[in-house]
A and B are shown apart, each in its own frame.
Chain A
């Protein structure tokens, strides 16, 4: 029975010994970038498996028996399941794939086994996009795809040297590029990823949070990552007015500030513009929350977003993908001169019985001074006059955090100052709240974009004055004016550790960084950020009016049909295959043409050689020899020997770069 069955199947094609390193290379190339986020033990295991296979290949050693591999596989899968607590999802799935692709070369005997490795390799390549969409990733994937394709060529009988195989694979990929570009441009886009990423795909995004405790912002500030990039339509406003409004926090429990104003109780934002309208386009890196970061204060919002009662631009969906949107703001405004009572009450609420000294101080100010503005000035004067220090390394604070900060430690970061200020104001009966967001940014001279990083994170305050609305007050500016004027790095004492990116200021490196970031930005804008809006914009500019998916599909189908027609016409046209001697002679003539002697199409070999010796005597003898051999094969009874000599002539011909004399 068994025999019959095997007979019915096609005979198995065994792989050659020379294929094995190719397959190991595929496994390595497609799984190496994953080492950055896989558990260390799995990386080590995969590396050991590949090295072991390479060793056994070199020694011609026996492969491990199947039962041993089975045990190994079961143990590995169990360990992965235990590590991730699941076998589903992005991380566990990728870990399983890497484990299998590393293990599979251990049991390769037939071409079918080898194909499993190749297909796994192609699949693993795609998974890199779960983690990174940057240019280096794309370049690595291109190289790896060439390698995998080359391996496929090799498996089906490419015995040429590796360079030739890889060159051919690269040519195949290059031929696919036009199709790729057409599909990229014209394939109808849908908002968001087509098939939805696994749920854990967006873990570990950095950005502001909707709470603020001492230390939360100076953790963020250690990161040199880009938060968003802005391109202003007109010129960039002056640096001290670049407050990027993030979550507004108005609920304090003695340690932590929280946001969350009930929407129902609030009045709709009422903004009176007193300055110019500033238009800009912002590209926001994903941060997993809903707020968009708008320049204080936004007056026009992108679609699918709204202004919250605390004037924060909020998107309908969490930002889990890089998003590009157009906004308009104004830096001089009056907002909500009338405010709902509930909002004001919230802005006055304090946790009971904490910070008694601060309350007492505030009450004395309130009794002494009439207007909220004066009270605020007194508080800022306090920060300015006393020996407050702006530092990234504040001491830990206890239960009466504001008391300790104001009266004993006096060392803090922006969140300490904002928190203490708002506490003082509330205690003095002035409605106040904390605003978090980003301050400033860095202009990239290469492409003119303003880059705002996590290290630009900031916290400031707002107070409400009847008739004047909400006023922005930045207590940090009172302590460390240079934070506002030039940035974190210049405001901190020189001895403090900072992320290398902020501290290190070599002009050459800085220029390099600008270039690299501009390239990354262009990539983000045009490749990754090619969303339905951009597609619409581009196609309209190309003259396609009102492009919808039907039109795009029609164009796509039309273009495909034209390409196929042209291709099939080219293939169906009767064309005699070129014989090897014709190919060699054509190559010889092409090289001669590069050296400046072009053979006319009607010119016979001997006549051409004659002309070459006349025009370029130094090439004459070689051309005569080539012509003689070509003529002998094509018009006489010449054979393989002449072909060999003809090819030798072709090789001996000096190339363009080594021009004779």
Chain B
């Protein structure tokens, strides 16, 4: 745990460092920025910074998790938040959707829920004497799937299919989901009563899994002093223009990954395969995910290239839920991944 704490500390310091240097690096790496859009980089940088600042005002002391969630979104992936009830999972999802200016819907999963409850149903319209499709909550830009592991596998897989395909087929008709489409699922720790743990293949659909954890002492005190956060949500104004998010996603995907960095990602991936602690290693899809999140992470920190530190920072969140420990039947803990990082030299 101490190791994890230190790497977190380094990460936070590093974040500040990255933010401080962003202007200089941006200036250096875009000598001909005026050929594209002159103002865009600074605009996006300031938009991201103000978004993170605003989110930090709502969710106290969770800067890293906010940034990870944002990185997940910028990498066009879905987010799984796993933690105890009441630590702010829903608030985080809600805040992000608001700040991004996205259309938001929420589904509380229960064990008697059916796929139609989230996809939508066709009902007979007497006036037109035809069936009319009533879209379910799935047809939103941000879907908050609360306590996804309370639903039966059947319903879970309907949702997960939609996540992967970004379209829904109901009653013979294929309907595209809105763009961007972003699922934030929350999950109770699987030991709790009445849960259907997500199988490996479905966990794999989530690009990132984060844990919020208890707030630290100062943050909790501030929370207690100012009361709950829920009432602050309606007052939040969007930081992004409607099209801006798509543009940012495109920019994040364009962050440079050098051959040396690809070597490093490969080295880490290979280290998980055949590692004595894990049942099996990371899949190529996971490796692609690592790269995508690392790009977004670098982008959030104002860089046009991915550094090994970016990979190290995001790797626990990307890898933990995809790696099963050999002797405890649970998933890898962040400490395991940190240990893995510390035994893999930079190429």
Complex contact A610–B14 (CB within 8 A): yes
User: Which A residues between 66 and 86 are near B, CB-CB below 8 angstroms?
Assistant: none
Q: Answer whether residue B13 sits at the interface, using C-beta atoms and an 8 A cutoff.
A: yes
* Minimum CB–CB distance for A642 against chain B, Å: 9
Q: A607-B309, A631-B307 are in contact. Are A636 and B29 (CB under 8 A)?
A: yes
Taking a contact as CB atoms under 8 Å apart, the answer to whether A602 and B342 are in contact is yes
Would you call A606 and B17 a contact (CB within 8 A)? yes
Q: Across the interface, which residues of A come within 8 angstroms of B344, CB to CB?
A: 602
CA distance A631 to B21 in the complex (A): 13
Q: Is A636 a contact partner of B256 (Cβ separation < 8 A)? A: yes
The answer to whether B28 touches A632 (Cβ under 8 A) is yes
* Chain A residues whose CB sits within 8 angstroms of the CB of B258 once the complex forms: 634-636
B296 to chain A, nearest CB (A): 16
Query: What is the 8 Å Cβ interface bit string for chain A, positions 588-602, against chain B (1 contact, 0 not)?
Result: 000000000000111
Whether the Cβ atoms of B307 and A604 lie closer than 8 Å is: yes
Residues of B within 8 A of A611 (CB): 10
Interface residues in A598-619 (C-beta closer than 8 Å to B): 600-607, 610-611, 614
Alpha-carbon gap, A297 to B246, bound state (A):
110
- Whole-angstrom CA separation of A632 from B21 in the bound complex: 13
Instruction: Please state if B309 and A604 are interface contacts (CB–CB under 8 Å).
Output: yes
Judge whether B345 is part of the interface by a CB distance below 8 angstroms: yes
- Smallest CB separation, A643 vs chain B (Å): 15
Interface residues of B in 60-89 (CB under 8 A from A): none
Residues in B1-21 with C-beta less than 8 Å from chain A: 10, 13-14, 17-18, 21
For residue B65, give the distance in angstroms from its CB to the closest CB of chain A.
Answer: 20
- Give Cα A605 to B309, complex, Å: 8
Inter-chain CA distance A277–B25, complex, in Å, is 90
Q: How near does chain B come to A132, taking the closest CB pair, in angstroms?
A: 54
Cα distance, A607 to B10, chains bound together (Å): 7
- B309 and A606 form a contact (CB under 8 A): yes
Find out whether the CB atom of B17 lies under 8 angstroms from the CB atom of A604.
no
Query: Nearest chain B CB to A84's CB is how many angstroms away?
Result: 67
- A603 engages B346 (CB within 8 Å): yes
Closest residue of chain A to B24 (Cβ to Cβ) is: A628
Flag whether B260 is at the interface (Cβ < 8 A): yes
Question: Are A600 and B307 CB-contacts (below 8 A) given A606-B14, A610-B17?
Answer: no
Chain B residues whose CB sits within 8 angstroms of the CB of A636 once the complex forms: 29, 256, 258, 304-305
Residues of A within 8 A of B256 (CB): 635-637
Known: A602-B345, A603-B346, A606-B18. A637 touches B309 (CB 8 A): no
Considering the complex, give the chain A residue whose CB is closest to the CB of B267. A602
User: Using Cβ atoms and an 8 Å threshold, which residues of chain A touch B308?
Assistant: 604-605, 635
- With A606-B18, A610-B13, A628-B21 as known contacts, state yes or no: A601 contacts B261, CB within 8 Å: no
Bound-state Cα–Cα, A636 to B10, Å: 22
**Which B-chain residue is minimally distant from A582 (CB atoms)?**
B260
Tell me whether A600 and B342 are in contact in the complex, defined as CB-CB below 8 angstroms, given that A606-B17, A631-B307, A634-B260 are known contacts: yes
Known: A606-B14, A635-B260. A601 touches B29 (CB 8 A): no
**Complex alpha-carbon distance, A492 and B344, angstroms:** 83
With CB as the reference atom, state the residue of chain A lying closest to B301: A606
Closest beta carbon of chain B to A578's beta carbon, Å: 11
Q: How far is the CA of A262 from the CA of B341 in the complex (A)?
A: 92
Across the interface, which residues of B come within 8 angstroms of A604, CB to CB? 307-309, 312, 346
Minimal beta-carbon separation of B18 from chain A (angstroms): 7
Tell me the smallest distance from the CB of A32 to a CB of chain B, in Å. 52
When distances are taken between beta carbons in the complex, the residues of chain B under 8 Å from A606 are 14, 17-18, 307, 309
Q: How far is the CB of B38 from chain A (nearest CB, A)?
A: 20
- Check if A607 sits within 8 Å of B345, measured CB to CB: no
- On chain B, the residues within 8 Å of A614 by CB distance are 13
Would you give the shortest CB distance from B30 to chain A, in whole angstroms? 10
Give the Cβ gap from A597 to chain B, nearest Cβ, in Å.
14
Name B306-347 residues within 8 Å CB distance of A.
306-309, 312, 341-346
The answer to whether B10 and A610 touch across the interface, beta carbons within 8 angstroms, is yes
In the bound assembly, the distance between CA atoms of A637 and B306 in angstroms comes to: 11
- The CA of A628 and the CA of B304, in the complex, are separated in Å by 13
Per-residue 0/1 for A621-656: is the Cβ within 8 Å of any B Cβ (1 yes, 0 no)? 000000010011011110000000000000000000
A601: chain B residues at CB < 8 Å are: 345-346
Closest to B345 in A: A601
- Measured CA separation A600–B345 after assembly (Å): 8
What's the minimum C-beta distance from B187 to chain A, rounded to whole angstroms? 31
Q: Hey, what's the 0/1 contact readout for B289-311 against A, CB within 8 Å counting as 1?
A: 00000000000000011111100
- Determine whether the beta carbon of A637 is less than 8 Å from that of B346: no
CB-CB under 8 A from A603, the residues of chain B are 346
Q: Which of B13, B18, B21, B305 contacts A635 (CB 8 A)?
A: B305
B14 with A607: CB separation less than 8 A:
yes
B307: chain A residues at CB < 8 Å are 604-606, 631, 635
A581 to B175, CA, bound (A): 52
A606 to B119, CA, bound (A): 46
The residues of B that contact A607 with a CB separation of less than 8 Å are 10, 14, 309, 312
Roughly how many angstroms separate A635 CA and B29 CA in the complex, as a whole number?
12
Residues from 256 to 271 in B contacting A, C-beta threshold 8 Å:
256-258, 260-261
Closest Cβ of chain B: how far from A557's Cβ, in Å? 38
Shortest CB-to-CB span from B298 to chain A, Å, is: 9
Whether B342 lies near A637 (C-beta < 8 A) is no
Chain A residues near B343: list those with CB within 8 A: 602
- Minimal Cβ-Cβ distance residue in A for B342: A602
Which residues of the other chain, B, contact A628 by a CB distance below 8 angstroms?
21, 25
B342 vs chain A, min Cβ distance (A): 5
Q: What's the nearest-Cβ distance from chain B to residue A326, in Å?
A: 59
A602 in contact with B346 given A635-B305, A637-B256 (CB within 8 Å): yes
CB of A598, distance to nearest CB on chain B (Å): 13
Q: Is the CB of B345 within 8 A of A637?
A: no
Chain A nearest CB: distance from B254 CB in Å? 13
Q: Which residues on the B side are within 8 Å of A610 (C-beta)?
A: 10, 13-14, 17
The interface residues of chain A lying within 8 Å CB-to-CB of B341 are: 602
In the docked arrangement, what's the CA distance between A606 and B15, Å? 10
Report A638 CB to chain B, min CB distance, Å.
Answer: 9
CB distance from A614 to the nearest CB of B (A): 8
Q: How far is the CA of A636 from the CA of B25 in the complex (A)?
A: 11
Contact residues in A for B10 (Cβ distance below 8 Å): 607, 610-611
Q: Which residues of A contact B312 (CB under 8 A)?
A: 602, 604, 607
Residues of B within 8 A of A635 (CB): 256-258, 260-261, 305-308
**What's the Cα separation between A634 and B307 when bound, in Å?**
9
Give CA–CA (A634, B261) in the complex, Å. Answer: 8
Residues on A with C-beta less than 8 A from B257 are: 635
Complex: A140 Cα to B166 Cα, angstroms: 82
Q: How far is the CA of A636 from the CA of B343 in the complex (A)?
A: 25
Rounded to whole angstroms, the CA-CA distance of A607 and B306 in the bound complex is 13
B261: A residues at CB distance < 8 A: 635
| Complex: A632 Cα to B13 Cα, angstroms | 20
Instruction: Give Cα A637 to B255, complex, Å.
Output: 11
Do A631 and B13 touch across chains, with their CB atoms under 8 A apart?
no
Closest chain B CB from A341 CB (angstroms): 94
Q: For B31, give the chain A residue with the smallest CB separation.
A: A637
- A565–B308 Cα distance when bound, in Å, is 37
In the assembled complex, the Cα of A75 lies from the Cα of B312 at a distance in Å of 80
Chain B residues with Cβ below 8 Å from A600 are: 342
A–B Cβ pairs within 8 angstroms, 22 of them: A600-B342, A601-B345, A602-B341, A602-B342, A602-B343, A604-B307, A604-B346, A606-B307, A607-B309, A607-B312, A610-B10, A610-B17, A614-B13, A632-B305, A635-B256, A635-B257, A635-B260, A635-B305, A635-B306, A636-B304, A636-B305, A637-B256
List 3 A-B pairs, minimum CB-CB distance, nearest first: A601-B345, A636-B305, A604-B308
Known: A602-B341, A606-B18, A636-B258. 20 other contacts (CB 8 A): A602-B312, A602-B343, A604-B308, A605-B307, A607-B14, A607-B309, A607-B312, A610-B14, A614-B13, A628-B25, A631-B305, A632-B28, A632-B29, A634-B260, A635-B258, A635-B305, A635-B307, A636-B304, A637-B29, A637-B256
Using CB atoms and an 8 Å cutoff, list the residues of chain A in contact with chain B. Answer: 600-607, 610-611, 614, 628, 631-632, 634-637
Q: Which B residues form the contact surface with A (CB < 8 A)?
A: 10, 13-14, 17-18, 21, 25, 28-29, 256-258, 260-261, 304-309, 312, 341-346
